[in-house]
Structure 1
Amino acid sequence: MKALLKKYKSVIRFIVTFLAVYGVLTIGYNVYLNASDGSKFYPDYLTHLVADQTNALLNGLDYKSDVVPHPNEPSMKIVINGKYVARVIEGCNAISVIILFLSFLVAFAGKFKTTLFYGLAGSIIIYAFNLIRIVVLSIGLYHYPWRREILHTVIFPMLIYGTVFLLWMVWVNRFSKQIQTNE
């Protein structure tokens, strides 16, 4: 048993570190969500921010859009030219994807400064890409509402998780200590 633990020490360290960071960040995010009272920023600040930024981008693309609180659920409705096309829920703010990204990054940590800057840059890339994803999805749903399922459940999740995967591959191959120590 001791030989197995020694042989797979780096794998076990990765799994434990990943799960610990993921758990701490997820619990912290859930504490934040439970502390959000929704009075000023409905349903919570980050989801509200994503909805407002989506609206600004849609209007910048000459779509007459508006976001309004959903009356029956904790979400923001995206309305384009008077047509309700989508809703922005808590899961649309990319925080859970960023938590997943950061957990992997820390588990495959490089130098502290490099890890910190890459984590910040990667989080910004994921956040920005997610905003673009919501804008394009909203426009797609406005013009092609019958493609709702494939757009929302296949194409756009594939793009956001594909982006995270590419960021991970760059990290592992260029900056991670684990790769450098194995060479």
Structure 2
Amino acid sequence: MKKYLVQFKPFLIFIGTFFATYILLAVIYKSYLNSFESNDVDEITRVVGYNVDFLMRIFNSDIIIQKSISDPWLEVWYNKTYVIRIVEGCNAVSVIILFISFVIAFSGKFKTTLLFILSGTLFIYILNVVRIALLAILLFRYPEKVHLLHSVLFPLIIYGLVFVLWVLWVNKFSKYAK
């Protein structure tokens, strides 16, 4: 048994570090969410909505993003048509937690790891804001494509780019990079 522990030590350290980081960040985020009333929208999701609004106004879009009167989400009105809602799960925090956990599990030098986490988190956040803005426009034009756009195409893009960031991290910056 000791032979296998020694043989698989790097993998076991990776798995242990990944899950410990993921669980810690998820518990912190859940505690943050629990600080809001059940019918309220958390501040991170509000900021995402604000940034989607800001981005679309740069392109002179007719956009209104407002808190739902009775539900815990933001309503997105594009060209005076209700097209989507921004819920807590749309703020990309869960994707960012996954990204950070992986980078820490394959950590490198402290400064490099920190800079990569910060820049990757910013990239994911901006990508998510662009995703929501594009989703609003596309669902206005193609409402029948909601499943394809929301559940297939955009998750494929965001998770695909996070995977590219991981590959870049492991091959260029982590302690395992050659």
What are the ranges of 5 or more consecutive residues in structure 2 without an aligned counterpart? Answer: none
Q: In structure 1, what residue type is equivalent to 2:99?
A: F
Pick from 112, 115, 118 the counterpart of residue 114 of structure 1: 112
Distance 1:73 1:17 in 2: 37
Distance 1:147 1:70 in 2: 24
Distance 2:103 2:20 in 1: 12
> Given that residues 36 and 45 in structure 1 are in contact (C-alpha distance below 8 angstroms), is that contact kept between their aligned partners in structure 2?
no
TM-score, normalised by the number of residues in structure 2: 0.96
Partner residue of 2:89?
Answer: 91
Partner residue of 1:144?
Answer: 142
Partner residue of 1:9?
Answer: 9
Runs of 4+ in 1 over 2 A off after TM superposition: 36-39
Partner residue of 1:155?
Answer: 153
1:37 Cα deviation after fit: 4.1
Q: How many residues align?
A: 178
Pick from 109, 123, 126 the counterpart of residue 125 of structure 1: 123
1:25 Cα deviation after fit: 0.2
Distance 1:11 1:179 in 2: 16
1:60 Cα deviation after fit: 1.8
Pick from 77, 80, 83 the counterpart of residue 82 of structure 1: 80
Partner residue of 1:45?
Answer: 43
Q: In structure 2, what residue type is equivalent to 1:131?
A: V
> Given that residues 110 and 175 in structure 1 are in contact (C-alpha distance below 8 angstroms), is that contact kept between their aligned partners in structure 2?
yes
TM-score, normalised by the number of residues in structure 1: 0.94
Distance 1:5 1:178 in 2: 19
1:38 Cα deviation after fit: 7.9
Q: In structure 2, what residue type is equivalent to 1:58?
A: M
Secondary structure, aligned partner of 2:176: helix
Distance 1:60 1:179 in 2: 40
Distance 1:26 1:11 in 2: 22
Partner residue of 1:19?
Answer: 19
What are the ranges of 5 or more consecutive residues in structure 1 without an aligned counterpart? Answer: none
Partner residue of 2:32?
Answer: 32
1:55 Cα deviation after fit: 1.2
Distance 2:15 2:132 in 1: 32
CA deviation vs aligned residue, 1:90-123 (integer Å, no higher than 9, x gap): 0111111000000000000000000000000000
User: Once the two structures are aligned, what percentage of the paired residues are identical?
Assistant: 43
Distance 2:153 2:91 in 1: 17
Distance 1:38 1:79 in 2: 23
CA deviation vs aligned residue, 1:39-90 (integer Å, no higher than 9, x gap): 9xx4010001101111121222222110111233210000012100000000
> Given that residues 38 and 44 in structure 1 are in contact (C-alpha distance below 8 angstroms), is that contact kept between their aligned partners in structure 2?
no
Q: Say whether residues 1:103 and 2:122 are aligned partners.
A: no
Which has the larger displacement, 56-65 or 110-119? 56-65
